[in-house]
Structures are given as structure tokens and as C-alpha cells.
Amino acid sequence: SAVISQKPSRDICQRGTSLTIQCQVDSQVTMMFWYRQQPGQSLTLIATANQGSEATYESGFVIDKFPISRPNLTFSTLTVSNMSPEDSSIYLCSVESNAIGPPGETQYFGPGTRLLVL
Amino acid sequence: TQLLEQSPQFLSIQEGENLTVYCNSSSVFSSLQWYRQEPGEGPVLLVTVVTGGEVKKLKRLTFQFGDARKDSSLHITAAQPGDTGLYLCAGKAGGTSYGKLTFGQGTILTVHP
């Protein structure tokens, strides 16, 4: 498995501001993903963080609102820009790699970042 | 777009009872993963099933992948309060080694002592 940490674990922010969430993995991984989750509900994929190139965004999510960086194989950031109360959610990063499990069969999640926008 | 219908959405039972959670789709998945999530934490991978008809057991939990790889079930025997949490199924489409997961809506399980 992989040990994944996220910073911050939670934050309360004012509308109109931006927050950058960090995801750190204890080993090099092939794929990193960013999800959003309302408490008690399912996960929605925001984007795939690609190392050395622009992230691949899912329908309904755009780079201007959720810029993503992935400078190396162990680290990624997600920024929630110009926040509104509707952005209040749990943001999770996940990783997948043949070094930690069969490709496509083992995706591990970080502990999440709980964001409240006032 | 592939969809996974997970049911029931809520389940409240007494300790010692059995339960089954279902995930169904009209699409074929190359693999299906089951996760359990507790409040304040990220989802924890319980098991991955990849072969049609496959059955995997994890202590009191039994996971089954449908023959056609379109559906899956999670059965818990003699549930305990420690089983309480959000259970999520997630399927991966075929065609690529790595790929995004399609998640079911989740089942919130509460086991009362």
C-alpha cells in the first residue's frame, strides 16, 4: 500500500479567497487523482494529475477554478480558486501505481481535506 | 458514461444481523473495488474483484463479482458496531491499465449494539 498525507486536514475560508491543498505520497506513483465528496455521499472525480503536463479534467471542472500541479511522482497540489460556499466539501487525493498493486485494481486515498467556505 | 447503482442508501441494523449491499450497472467493468470510509477519514480499500463470478472473503465480509462483471455484492455476516461506516463500490472501465473509477452512491451502515 501507500501512505498518503494531505495538508491542511481542514480549513475555514472566506468567499472569494483561494486555498491550495497538498498531497504527499511516501513512494513514487504512476497516477494521482483529485476527488470531491460531500459528507456521507459518494466521490466525484475532479481531475487526473499528470506529472509534467496539464491535468486532465472531468466534465464540469475547469482549470481556472481548480488548478492542479504535479511537479514529481510523489507530490501534487489542488487549488480551489475564488471560493464560494458551494465549494464547501471534502477534497481527497488518491494514487494508483503498479508498484503498490496491480494496475487498475488498487487505488488508495488520502485522509481528505475538509473545507468550509463562509 | 458508466453508472453504478448502489443500494440500499441507508441501512440501520442490530448487532448480529446479516446484511447485503448491492452494486449494479448496465456496463461491464474490468474490476470493481469496495471501500469503507469512517467519518473524518478517507476511503479504505477492502477488496478488488476482477474475474466474473469471483468470490472473496475477508473475515465476516463476502464480496462477489457477477458473472458478466456488471454487478457486485457485499455481504456482512453477524454485523458488529465496528462495521458502522460508509461503504462504497467503485468500478473501473476496461481498455486501459490505469483509469478513473466510477463510484456508486454509497451505503451508510449503522450497526446498533
Q: Are A6 and A93 in contact (CB under 8 A)?
A: yes
pLDDT of residue A22: 98
How many residue pairs bridge chain A and chain B with CB atoms within 8 Å of each other?
69
CA distance linking residue A68 with residue A84, whole number of Å: 19
Percentage of residues in chain B with pLDDT exceeding 90?
Answer: 79
Of the partner residues A40, A105, A110, the one whose CB lies closest to the CB of residue B31: A105
Q: With H, G, I as helix, E, B as strand and everything else as coil, classify residue B78.
A: coil
How would residue A52 be classed by pLDDT, with cut points 50, 70 and 90?
confident
Given a contact cutoff of 8 angstroms between Cβ atoms, the answer to whether B11 and B21 are in contact is yes
Residue with C-alpha cell 441501512? Answer: B11
Residue A50's pLDDT is: 85
Chain A interface disruption, residue of B6, B12, B29, B37, most A CBs within 10 A: B37
Average pLDDT value for chain B: 92
| Cα–chain center distance at B69 | 14
- Best of B30, B32, B100, B105 to substitute, by most chain A Cβ atoms within 10 angstroms, is B100
Residue B97 has pLDDT above 60, yes or no: no
Cβ neighbours of B48 in A, within 8 Å: 102, 105-106
Of all residues in chain A, the one with the smallest CA distance to B45 is A108
* Residue A3: CB atoms within 10 Å: 10
The set of residues, in sequence order, having a beta carbon less than 8 Å from that of A28 and lying 6+ positions away, is A73, A74, A97, A99
Helix, strand, or coil (residue A19)? strand
Q: Decide: A89 and A71 in contact? Cβ < 8 Å.
A: no
Distances (CA, A) of A70 to A28, A33, A34, A116, B12: 12, 10, 11, 25, 42
User: Residue A99 — pLDDT band, cuts 50, 70, 90?
Assistant: low
**Cβ of residue B89 closer than 8 Å to a chain A Cβ:** no
| pLDDT level of residue A69 (50, 70, 90 thresholds) | very high
Q: Sort strands B85-92 and A43-49 into parallel, antiparallel or unpaired.
A: unpaired
Residue B2, C-alpha cell as written in the block? 458508466
Residues in A closer than 8 angstroms to B100, CB to CB, are 33, 45, 48, 58
Say if A25 is an interface residue toward chain B (CB within 8 Å).
Answer: no
Instruction: Report the distance separating Cα B6 and Cα B4, nearest Å.
Output: 6
Q: Smallest CA–CA separation between A19 and chain B, in Å?
A: 19
